[in-house]
A and B are shown apart, each in its own frame.
Chain A
């Protein structure tokens, strides 16, 4: 089973929850950190990285000897990654989505596609846990291809896999969540948490993936998130109160379960609830 841990709002505790879910397992598990713009699960898992692979896109390169400057390539590109303003096209590889459309459009076959590195996928282990993360290079904007490369790993789908998704509801989040068996939306009971939860629920519903909510720091804020979930028939699978021990452990790079081991059974129950949602069964909700 593959569980994506996502949220609309950033800073709700996605990584803390994803790491706890993975570490609470008694059988082998895998964690994939898909927040490739700033992967941070490694700060708590301290994995040994055994393999690093570059992620490359194929971007256009123009052969000036063959180019007539007709601009067909630029008209084919909706991302302005290849523009023809003078006599021959200019390529902006950091804007290229690597669709290959410009090369197809070129009537003189003046464009060939060349590799352009945008990041890496790193794999390794953290104790019994298989670990992999994507890392987008500084100055690059294309997170989605790095996430796809990370998720094409053989590790996903083998046993219990937890995906730590980026925050928000945009393309990198969709790339992290699509095709998983169940999504856990982590939120906090505040107006900001609710606003972004509603957006995230819309995204997950349109992807057609079963999902439940975890309310983190459940003893702050107001009742609006609970009211919203009740009104929408969304299961609240777990509520965790604010706990200074978890925050102190976090600041030292220690997982929440390292500081509060008695939470482990609650995370195992959470995993059972998620498995129930994934299989379409009704779930036992532990509030």
Chain B
């Protein structure tokens, strides 16, 4: 299974970005092969609105089934749910920390958006 983690830089050592739509990078971690690759999302900085929806399209296209991030707004949550992607909020530290917390079941699956749009 592939999980996407919002990140401020590339790779597992990067700090988790608390934003989803406007995170600079998405680290995609494969839980079977235990390997990671990084997708560039910096174009979102030029988007006035709809960044969360666009980001949901990106992680869906990359095959993610779960998203780990800090917070998730209503449009992004709706798009992710439609794509069947589960959302885990409240991550912190490095991407590797977040993956470990996810594996230990510390992160809880969100049932709705936890912040308003453009928080």
User: A residues engaging B (CB < 8 A)?
Assistant: 79-81, 83, 85-86, 90, 92, 94-95, 141
Q: Are A83 and B49 in contact (CB under 8 A)?
A: no
Enumerate the 5 nearest inter-chain pairs by beta-carbon distance, A residue then B residue, closest first: A85-B83, A80-B50, A86-B82, A80-B53, A85-B82
Q: How many residues of chain B have a CB within 8 Å of chain A?
A: 15
- Taken together as a complex, chains A and B put the C-alpha atoms of A274 and B84 apart, in Å, by 60
User: B residues engaging A (CB < 8 A)?
Assistant: 48-50, 53-54, 56-57, 60, 75, 78-80, 82-84
Asked whether A80 and B83 contact (CB < 8 A) given A92-B75, A141-B49, the answer is: no
Question: Which residues of chain B are near A92, meaning CB under 8 Å?
Answer: 50, 53, 75, 78
Question: Which residues of chain A are near B57, meaning CB under 8 Å?
Answer: 80, 83, 85
Question: Which residues of chain B are near A94, meaning CB under 8 Å?
Answer: 49
- Contact for A83 among B48, B56, B84, CB less than 8 A: B56
Nearest-Cβ distance from residue A148 to partner chain B, whole angstroms:
19
Q: Are A90 and B50 in contact (CB under 8 A)?
A: no
Nearest-Cβ distance from residue A223 to partner chain B, whole angstroms:
36
Nearest-Cβ distance from residue A75 to partner chain B, whole angstroms:
11
Question: Which residues of chain B are near A83, meaning CB under 8 Å?
Answer: 53, 56-57, 79, 82
Question: Which residues of chain B are near A80, meaning CB under 8 Å?
Answer: 50, 53-54, 57
- Taken together as a complex, chains A and B put the C-alpha atoms of A212 and B111 apart, in Å, by 56
- Contact for B78 among A79, A81, A90, CB less than 8 A: A90
